[in-house]
């Protein structure tokens, strides 16, 4: 339980406020405690229970904000919402239970091979959690390393492998204890890795992308609409008027409004509202990206971002369209057999149609802006496909639009910012974020936040962002092959390192 709570703390804004080293420090303490406990166990079933408890505490502590969405805004009774969160986290913790059981059952007793085995199992567990049942990779261990020397590995191997590398180094230290020649070797290797990566991170040849074109001047809107007012008829006019005024009045090259900034389908909009917005951008040299649902109740609807500019005037619909691909279970689509659960909740527009995965980017003054909606930016392997798709230009910056008002004033806002910063590291591209309640920010290609609005306030962030061109190694291999090369590598490592003389199934 202690290890799980420590790991959840690595994704807390309060720890980050103490200094950039604190998230990585808490991750390190969590891994050390976890490995030390597993090392002392001789029972595979007990190891599985410890792994399940570790994973459940980690996820409940790190993603407990889901309760706010289910109870306060979804209308579920508190006890049902609490049980739903606990059940989801407990189910996802099964993968960490398997890690613990497999490691205790298969370890050979040598610090070198046992550390490698644990790291490979850890990577596989986080990967499976990130893809099974559409995936929930929130609070993956590597995100705690976004400000650490290991950040230099992001454009090479991605967030899951970053976490696995750190688990490898720390497990070597723990497993080679007490003080011995082996421990001296493992500690030296750890210090050499951290020092070497710190040096590499300061070298210009580490950058795989380069400056592209002139900087864009951007205006990022943050409406700060409480979730219980967002779809209420009595508050719709205020939202529509404020966003329209801000969009039309914004200066610069690009203005971005959050996810469902206009919370109405086209047929529900006031007469002339959309036409006036479009006409404001169909002439001149300004562009806009606006979060709005498109479609109708009969044919289906999408969670979309609409792009408006003089270049889109001649398109069939008069606008660029990006439809969200990676939909949120229960909130944006209903999994088979769970209609009864969704019917218990008050979720407007809850069954969207999925958009294409490798969608084209939106062109603005020579830059190619790749939109993502809400938690789509958790899935770096999916974003990577946009860099290698034939016939369309690779993105030069990301634009994420989100509405985290669903989760109240919780750590979800900070955690999503942490995730967006990791994507900027993996692809060495800047990210602009326009959100309803926060964090509305500009992130450069090194994951530094260069401009930000205070959370839970209404306003417009005016800033500049420099696009970049080029593909990182991660963009290349993940874009072409997904994460399957890493899956194969981790699986082969497990097969090579596990002790063959002991059957895990028999132990359980």
- The Cα–Cα gap between 436 and 228 comes to 13
CATH number of 211-471: 3.60.110.10
Among 148, 164, 141, 97, smallest CA distance to 172 is for 164
The token duo for 298 is 């009969």
Element (H, E) at 399: strand 397-402
Give the residue-averaged pLDDT of 45-58. 94
226 in the Ramachandran plot: left (φ > 0), alpha (ψ -120 to 50) or beta? beta
Among 250, 237, 244, smallest CA distance to 276 is for 244
Give the residue-averaged pLDDT of 338-352. 64
- The Cα–Cα gap between 433 and 258 comes to 8
Does 106 score more than 60 pLDDT?
Answer: yes
DSSP 8-class letter at 406: G
Give the residue-averaged pLDDT of 130-138. 88
Among 28, 35, 26, smallest CA distance to 177 is for 35
User: Mean pLDDT for the chain?
Assistant: 88
Does 505 score more than 50 pLDDT?
Answer: no
Each residue's pLDDT tens digit, 375-421: 899 999 999 999 999 889 999 999 999 999 888 888 999 999 999 99
Residue 470 neighbours by CB under 8 Å, 6+ apart: 208, 209, 210, 428
- The Cα–Cα gap between 323 and 217 comes to 25
Give the DSSP letter string of 271-330. TTHHHHHHHHHHSSS-EEEEEEEEEETTTEEEEEEEEESGGGTTSSSSSEEEE--SPPBT
178 in the Ramachandran plot: left (φ > 0), alpha (ψ -120 to 50) or beta? beta
More confident residue, 315 or 466: 466
The answer to whether the CB of 331 falls within 8 A of the CB of 347 is yes
pLDDT tier, 356 (very low <50, low <70, confident <90, very high otherwise): confident
Give the DSSP letter string of 451-488. EEPPTT--EEEEEEE--EE---HHHHHHHHHTTHHHHH
Domain ranges of the chain: 2-206+483-507, 211-471
Give the DSSP letter string of 151-185. GGGHHHHHHHHHHHHHHHHHHHHHHT-SSSHHHHH
Residue 178 preceded by cis peptide, ω within 30: yes
Q: Which residues are catalytic?
A: 259, 324, 374
Using DSSP, how many helices (H) and how many strands (E) does the chain show?
19, 14
CA 167, 173, 176, 182 torsion-angle sign: positive
Each residue's pLDDT tens digit, 149-177: 899 999 999 999 999 999 998 998 888 87
pLDDT tier, 147 (very low <50, low <70, confident <90, very high otherwise): very high
Integer angstrom CA distances of residue 307 from 155, 213, 282, 311: 29, 20, 11, 10
The dihedral formed by the CA atoms of 344, 347, 352 and 356, expressed in degrees to the nearest 10: -110
The answer to whether the CB of 65 falls within 8 A of the CB of 412 is yes
Does 338 score more than 70 pLDDT?
Answer: no
pLDDT tier, 13 (very low <50, low <70, confident <90, very high otherwise): confident
Q: In 10 A of CB 371, how many CB atoms?
A: 25
The dihedral formed by the CA atoms of 77, 79, 83 and 86, expressed in degrees to the nearest 10: 110
Does 187 score more than 80 pLDDT?
Answer: no
pLDDT tier, 34 (very low <50, low <70, confident <90, very high otherwise): very high
The token duo for 76 is 């579920």
Give the residue-averaged pLDDT of 93-111. 93
- The Cα–Cα gap between 416 and 352 comes to 22
The dihedral formed by the CA atoms of 200, 201, 206 and 208, expressed in degrees to the nearest 10: 160
Q: Which residue has the tokens 């979060």?
A: 291
- The Cα–Cα gap between 136 and 87 comes to 14
Element (H, E) at 211: strand 210-211
Q: In 434-472, which positions are buried (b, 16+ CB within 10 angstroms) versus exposed (e)?
A: bbbbbbbbbbbbebebebbbebeeeebbebebbbbbbbb
Q: In 10 A of CB 53, how many CB atoms?
A: 18
Give the residue-averaged pLDDT of 231-256. 92
101 in the Ramachandran plot: left (φ > 0), alpha (ψ -120 to 50) or beta? alpha
Q: In 10 A of CB 408, how many CB atoms?
A: 18
């Amino acid at each position: 339980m202690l290890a799980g709570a420590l790991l959840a703390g690595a994704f807390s804004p309060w720890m980050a406020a103490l200094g950039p080293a604190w998230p990585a420090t808490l991750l390190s303490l969590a891994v050390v405690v976890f490995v030390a406990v597993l090392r002392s166990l001789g029972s595979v079933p007990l190891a599985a229970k410890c792994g399940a408890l570790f994973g459940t505490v980690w996820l409940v502590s790190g993603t407990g904000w889901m309760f706010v969405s289910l109870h306060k805004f979804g209308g579920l009774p508190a006890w049902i919402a609490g049980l739903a969160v606990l059940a989801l986290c407990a189910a996802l913790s099964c993968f960490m239970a398997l890690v613990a059981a497999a490691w205790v059952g298969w370890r050979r007793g040598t610090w070198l091979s046992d550390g490698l085995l644990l790291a490979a199992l850890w990577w596989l567990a986080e990967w499976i959690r990130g893809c099974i049942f559409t995936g929930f990779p929130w609070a993956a261990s590597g995100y705690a390393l976004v400000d650490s020397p290991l950040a230099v590995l992001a454009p090479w191997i991605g967030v899951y492998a970053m976490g696995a590398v750190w688990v490898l180094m720390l497990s070597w230290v723990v497993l080679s204890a007490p003080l011995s020649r082996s421990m001296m070797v493992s500690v030296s290797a750890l210090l050499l890795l951290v020092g070497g990566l710190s040096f590499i991170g300061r070298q210009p040849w580490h950058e795989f992308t380069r400056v592209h074109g002139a900087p864009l001047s951007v205006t990022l809107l943050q409406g700060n609409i409480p979730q219980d007012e967002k779809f209420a008829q009595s508050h719709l006019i205020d939202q529509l008027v404020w966003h329209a005024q801000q969009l039309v009045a914004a200066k610069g090259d690009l203005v971005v409004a959050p996810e469902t900034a206009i919370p109405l389908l086209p047929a529900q909009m006031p007469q002339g509202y959309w036409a006036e917005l479009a006409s404001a951008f169909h002439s001149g040299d300004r562009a806009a990206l606006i979060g709005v649902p498109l479609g109708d109740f009969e044919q289906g609807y999408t969670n979309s971002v609409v792009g408006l500019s003089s270049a889109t005037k001649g398109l069939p619909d008069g606008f660029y369209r990006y439809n969200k691909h990676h939909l949120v279970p229960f909130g944006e689509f209903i999994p088979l057999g769970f209609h009864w659960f969704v019917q218990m909740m008050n979720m407007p527009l809850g069954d969207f149609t999925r958009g294409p995965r490798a969608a084209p980017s939106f062109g603005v003054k020579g830059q190619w802006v790749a939109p993502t909606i809400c938690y789509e930016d958790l899935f770096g392997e999916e974003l990577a496909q946009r860099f290698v798709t034939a016939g369309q230009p690779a993105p030069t910056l990301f634009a994420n639009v989100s509405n985290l008002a669903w989760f109240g004033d919780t750590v979800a806002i900070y955690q999503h910012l942490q995730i967006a910063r990791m994507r900027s590291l993996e692809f060495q591209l800047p990210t602009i974020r326009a959100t309803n309640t926060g964090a509305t920010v500009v992130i450069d290609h090194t994951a530094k936040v260069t401009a930000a609005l205070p959370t839970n306030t209404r306003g417009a962030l005016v800033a500049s962002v420099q696009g970049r061109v080029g593909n990182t190694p991660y963009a290349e291999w993940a874009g072409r092959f997904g994460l399957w090369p890493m899956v194969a590598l981790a699986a082969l490592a497990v097969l090579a390192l596990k002790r063959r003389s002991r059957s895990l199934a028999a132990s359980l």
